[in-house]
Chains A and B, each alone.
Chain A
């Protein structure tokens, strides 16, 4: 099978490792080879983190520069930080959410500024925090983002059912489905 390279970027504490586990478990259910390279330790504490998800006939644990088919940002600034993994055809998915770095006197880019910087890329944004509020559970943001990416068709080799069984609890399933329907609305713009 072909290779699928997904780089997920975020801030330590956003649940990025759990997200990688969910994708890995979904691949396992489908019997597809998967490698997820994680960031642990000191770097995890509120710092910029990413995971490399590689699916299919893969050996290298990490994605090549310009080699990501899809870039997912749990925080919008982290897309910019990892943009050298993208190419002009990459699908760039990000949450309309920014977090201030914990440094004195620095200001992060706003969502509008980031969209302007990404004008040459294929971007798909979602307000996952709003979906989490709708569900009434702020911990389900990542399931909404994952559902959105699924709706866009990024994980088309994985059955929806396989994804749903990796989600813990009703709220995560609700968020995934809400994200998924948002993704379906714009999925005609996606060619992978």
Chain B
């Protein structure tokens, strides 16, 4: 045992390693990414990979668990939507080893498009859901999840959230165990889901479910005493524990929000007079407790989402309000105070090639005489193109959605759309959309922003390091494929103009690839001193283009409207040089060793 300060995600990774995980696969997504990274760093005997998408990651873990290994798949909540097809089947077949799916949910949508409550997946698939409340319980419960899965031969969903994944705290940890590997074993009557087998599996699944319902009892507990019962699931326990302090209440502390432990819940309900269910987002536990009370003929007043906010993450003030009301105390709802502060949304980094691509695209389309089009966006750092001054993400729905949405826009309006997708997202779920564009002849420009990295989640690798996107597009039947360097403003804008004209004339899809490395990746490879941009004050007219339309964070306006360079932010990339119409910006300092290679290889 050793106590260390770790991030919640590191605790989950170490817990998996202490459980003998042999195969771990994931697709990066906030707040889940550090789990696989940590396993890669510390599990030298474990096979860990970044898969091309969550479905492949889940299947990889599932395949390993079929062979009897202990396997882990990690993803953010919306990633589970991508893996859902395989997830549903895994509940039918069960597994021979251990199969744990970590779903890192993101209530309040700190870095996500929605805040879906993935405990519902457990309900839909009949898979037990285990929920921790802090990094220590995450470590302990991920170990329980592996044990549980191996004992009942059924997958387990381990549902965490941002305030567990990204909380740093002391965690008591055991040693890492040797991986529990699989061995080749074939059982097609179980794993080949033709209707005959699937029908039998369905009955087996319900039989396992009976066992699971009983077995979850051991993962839950009752604390305190009183006539008022608070049922707290997962992270809700952390808030409830702090809010109740010395009040006389009984707490049913749930680590399994689905299924709830029937016997323990009935025990907690005994001699209780009133019940409050505190849980984040959806009334999953509340529904089950009400259902149980109804079937057992227990008539008690029960509160839940009438007092606990259904949107956003739980906070102390939300839980304080709910528990206070429940205990009959005077509590005021604390409203957010609105302060008049300039907004500071996230921004593309200095040297980000996406900024140049957005500028090039706007100019190139203008040169082709296209005044109005639809920018069908996607998920990645380039999603920030939604912000002014770019305004080049008219929709961004889900990973890989840019192509299908663009098709729908064209079919319903006749307007030729621009689909914009990153390289990692292209390989994640962009390929079927591209196949469809060829197959159904969608006139559109697909702009792939290829920075050879899954940049937004921390520069994990991308398949584009190994597969040439131009060859993929050509191989899939795209007739018009061109690549450009987004920092080369004149060439890029010319190519975009010609491409737009080709699509208008031929009414077929064209693929453009904007190729330059993520600036953070490029900088990691450079050791020498960086060059810096310099503004010639005699040439600068104060036209504002560099800081108001290009918006590099390193270019700061002076009181006289002229531009100046913030030396603490400038990385010397030179992207701003061709943007200045008065040629007032130049580069000072030598190119460091390996500079062009770092950006362009």
Contact = CB atoms under 8 A, between A and B. Distances in A.
B349 A45 contact: yes
A81 B336 CA distance: 11
A59 B134 contact: yes
B551 A47 contact: no
Task: Give the 4 A-B residue pairs with the shortest CB-CB distance, closest first.
Answer: A41-B30, A47-B346, A41-B111, A102-B347
Given A24-B168, A41-B111, A46 B456 contact: no
A46 B167 contact: no
A49 B30 CA distance: 15
Given A28-B5, A36-B169, A41-B111, A47 B344 contact: yes
27 contacts: A24-B169, A28-B4, A34-B169, A34-B170, A35-B167, A36-B169, A37-B163, A37-B166, A39-B110, A40-B111, A43-B111, A47-B347, A59-B239, A59-B241, A59-B242, A60-B239, A60-B319, A61-B167, A64-B316, A64-B317, A65-B336, A83-B337, A84-B336, A84-B337, A84-B339, A101-B345, A138-B568
A42 B383 contact: yes
Interface in B221-268: 235, 237-239, 241-242
B343 interface: yes
Interface in B546-601: 547-549, 551-553, 556-557, 568
Contacts of A24: 5, 168-169
A80 to B, nearest CB: 4
B341 interface: yes
Nearest to B345: A47
A97 to B, nearest CB: 10
A20 B168 contact: yes
B168 A41 contact: no
Interface string A105-122: 111110000000000000
B169 A77 contact: no
A25 interface: yes
Interface string B158-197: 0000011011111000000000000000000000000000
Interface stretch (B79-87, B365-373, B384-392, B406-414): B384-392
Interface string A32-76: 011111111111111110000000001111111111000000000
Contacts of A67: 316
A40 B348 contact: no
Interface string A12-35: 110000001100110010000111
Q: Of residues A59, A60, A64, A81, which shows the largest number of chain B Cβ atoms within 10 Å of its Cβ? A: A60
Given A59-B238, A59-B242, A107 B342 contact: yes
Contacts of A47: 344-347
Nearest to A58: B242
Contact of B316 (A13, A62, A101): A62
A108 B457 CA distance: 28
Contacts of A11: 344
A168 interface: no
A102 B319 CA distance: 36
Contact of B346 (A21, A44, A108): A44
A104 B548 contact: yes
A100 interface: yes
Interface residues of A, number: 51
A66 B316 CA distance: 11
Contacts of A84: 336-337, 339
B315 interface: yes
A135 to B, nearest CB: 15
Interface string A76-92: 01101101100000000
B169 A35 contact: yes
Contact of B344 (A41, A63, A77, A104): A77
Contacts of A59: 133-134, 237-239, 241-242
Interface of B: 3-5, 7, 30-31, 33, 110-111, 133-134, 163-164, 166-170, 235, 237-239, 241-242, 313, 315-317, 319-320, 334, 336-337, 339-349, 381, 383-384, 387-389, 456-457, 547-549, 551-553, 556-557, 568
Contacts of B313: 62
Given A64-B334, A103-B345, 14 more contacts: A12-B346, A28-B4, A33-B169, A38-B7, A42-B110, A43-B111, A44-B346, A45-B347, A62-B316, A63-B316, A66-B334, A101-B342, A103-B347, A105-B548
Given A42-B30, A61-B163, A35 B346 contact: no
Contacts of A102: 347-348, 551-553
Contacts of A104: 388-389, 547-549, 551
A15 to B, nearest CB: 12
Contact of B556 (A63, A83, A100, A103): A100
A106 B111 contact: no
Contacts of B347: 45-47, 101-103
Contacts of B315: 62, 64-65
Nearest to B8: A61
B168 A60 contact: no
Contact of A37 (B167, B387, B557): B167
Contacts of A62: 163, 313, 315-316
Contacts of B5: 21, 24-25, 28, 34
Nearest to A86: B337
Nearest to B9: A40
Contacts of B33: 40
Contact of A28 (B170, B339, B345, B346): B170
Contacts of B339: 80-81, 83-84
Q: Which among B134, B169, B384, B549 has the greatest number of chain A C-beta atoms within 10 A? A: B169
Contacts of B349: 13, 45-46
A24 B135 CA distance: 14
Contact of B343 (A28, A61, A106): A106
B532 to A, nearest CB: 14
Nearest to B567: A138
Contacts of B342: 77, 101, 103, 106-109
B251 to A, nearest CB: 12
Contact of B341 (A40, A60, A77): A77
A62 B456 CA distance: 24
A33 B170 contact: yes
Contacts of A138: 568
A60 B553 contact: no
A34 B238 CA distance: 14
Nearest to B384: A45
Contact of B30 (A12, A35, A37, A40): A40
A1 B453 CA distance: 46
